[in-house]
Amino acid sequence: MYRIYIFLLALTLGCVATAVAEDGNGGYGGAFLQVPIGARPAGMGGAYLAVSDDGAGLLFNPAGASGIRKTLFSSSYRLMDLDRSLSYVALAIPTAKLSTLAFSWRYAGSGSVEARNTDGDKLGFELSQHNHQFTFLFAKRFENFFSAGLRGSYFHSQFAEMTAFSVSLDVGMMFYISNLFKRDKREKMSIQDIKAGIVVRNLGAEYRWNNEKYLVKYATGVLPTEKDDEVPLEVGAGGSARFLKRKLLVAADMLGDKESRFAFHGGAEYLISPQFTLRGGFSDGRVTAGTGYIFKFTSWVLAIDYAFSSDKAGAGSDHIFSFDVTF
C-alpha cells in the first residue's frame, strides 16, 4: 500500500515542477498572502509547509491540521513599518476519525496616506487599503503516513472607494515519511519525524476592480474602467525532520508561482527545555529569529511566541507576536 503513496508523492512533485515552470500573464494580486504569518513560522523563516501542526499552520498547509487533537484558538499580529499590519485569528476543532474543521480570518491593511497629484499637491482626501481573507478548512488523516486538506477562502479588498471580491481553493498534502518504517527501526534512527508537505494555493483567485464609485466622488468627466487582478497560482513543496533526540527541528520550503517567481524559506527550532524554544531562519532575503514559551495549566495550554524579521530592501523590520490556547 505504501508504494501507492510514494508514487502519488512523486507524481505530485512532478506536477508541481511543471506548474511552476509555466509562463503566466496574470496580475500580482494578493501580495499580502506571500508574507509569513504567525510568530513560530515567521521565526523559522516561513519554512512551514512540512510542519503546519498549529494555528498558524492552517494558513500554510491545510493538511497539517489533521494532527490537531484538541480544540485550538490561535491569534497573531505582525507589526510592520510604513504603518502596515498583518494579523489573523483561527479556531480549529478536531472531529471524528482523525479529521479537523477550522475557521480563520486574516487581515492585511495600511494606514491612511494623503492623496496627491503628479505635481505633489494635496487633493484633500486620504487613501487606505484593507484586505480580508475568511477561510473554511477540512483536513483528514487517511493513513498513518498520509493526510490531506482543503481550504476554501473568500477575499474582500477595499482601496479608497473601490471594493473587490474573490474566492479561492487551496489543496495540501502531508507525507509522514518516518511512519513508513516499523516503530522499532524508526526509534533507533538519528533522524526522526521526517515529513514532506505539498500545497497548491490560490486556485481560482481573481479580483475584479471597478473605479466608478471612486470617479463619482473624486473626479468628473472620466469614464469608469474595470480591471481583473489575478492572484497567481502558487505551488510549493517542503520537508522537515527532527534531530538530537527530537530537540532540533529543521525545515525548508521552495515555492513558485505562474509568474515564474521563486522563493526559498529555511529555518530551525531548538528546544532549550520542554517549555522554552529558540528559532532562526531565512525568508526570501530576510533573516529571522524568534522564541516561544509554553505555559501548562490543569486543562489547557497557552503558547506565547515572538519573532523578528530583518529589513529587506528598505521595507523595514517586522515584529510578530502570537498566542495559541489549547483546551
Q: Please tell me the predicted confidence (pLDDT) of residue 224.
A: 77
pLDDT in tens, 157-185: 988 778 899 999 999 999 999 999 998 88
Assess if residue 179 is contained within a domain: yes
Residue 83's CB: how many other CB atoms inside 10 A?
11
Domain count, the chain: 1
Neighbours of 246 (CB within 10 A): 11
Domain that holds residue 286: 2-111+127-326
The residue ranges of the chain whose pLDDT is under 50 are 1-27
Alpha helices in 149-306 (DSSP H): 183-188, 212-218
Domain for residue 117, yes or no?
no
In-domain check, residue 119: no
The CA distance from 154 to 238, in Å, is 26
Asked whether 207 and 158 are in contact (CB, 8 A), the reply is no
In a domain, 116, yes or no: no
pTM for the predicted model, two decimal places: 0.85
Residue 15: inside a domain, yes or no? yes
322 domain-assigned: yes
CATH number at residue 188: 2.40.160.60
Distance of CA 136 to the CA centre of its chain: 14
* Residue 65: inside a domain: yes
**120, part of any domain:** no
Cα 43 to its chain centre, rounded Å, is 13
HEC string of 129-168 equals EEEEEEEEEEEEEEECCEEEEEEEEEEEEEECCEEEEEEE
